Amino acid sequence: MEHIKISDKSFKPYLGHEEIMAAIDRVAEKINRDFSGSDEIPVVLCVLNGSIIFTSELIQRLDFQCELASIKLSSYSGTKSTGCVQTAMGLTCDVKGRKVIVVEDIVDTGNTIVKLDSILREAGASEIRICTLLFKPGSYGKDIPIDYIAKEIPNDFIVGFGLDYNGLGRGLREIYVIDED
């Protein structure tokens, strides 16, 4: 992996593709333990656009039936969270009385998680579990538990594997961290 430039920022290698795949394998095993053998068919809720790639990899590893749905929220501008979570597209299926596994690319401040929790409770979800590829424990200050964490990372700005910088970099197979040097 080499340094890359996206728009006006430089990024250095952080997580290789194999390490990302191994983290997804581990988190899928935990979800499978919790949901295998259940008569209920949970909804796997992909939070657009960032978690598309993670969700695609994750559902291929799940050994139980699930329904895939999506929702689109946004709170970032450039490299910073705006603190205001906007709903760009509502739920694509009915979750009333159903278990929902929310799939996020990254959880940092937790503002999006709070908004998702509120939306899903209002829609009548019977149970909400949160799954994230990346978790920044140093930034998270909310009371909602994160049930499935593929990898914990420091509070740095990253890009790749679904994560973007101003809409760019989502298609990178690896994850890069901003190079402040």
Catalytic residue annotation:
108
Distance of CA 170 to the CA centre of its chain: 13
Q: What angle do CA 103, 107, 111 make, to 5 degrees?
A: 105
Contact in structure between 71 and 45 (CB atoms under 8 Å): yes
Distances 28 to 64, 106, 169, 171, 180 between C-alpha atoms, Å: 11, 16, 25, 22, 33
Indicate the SS3 state at residue 7.
coil
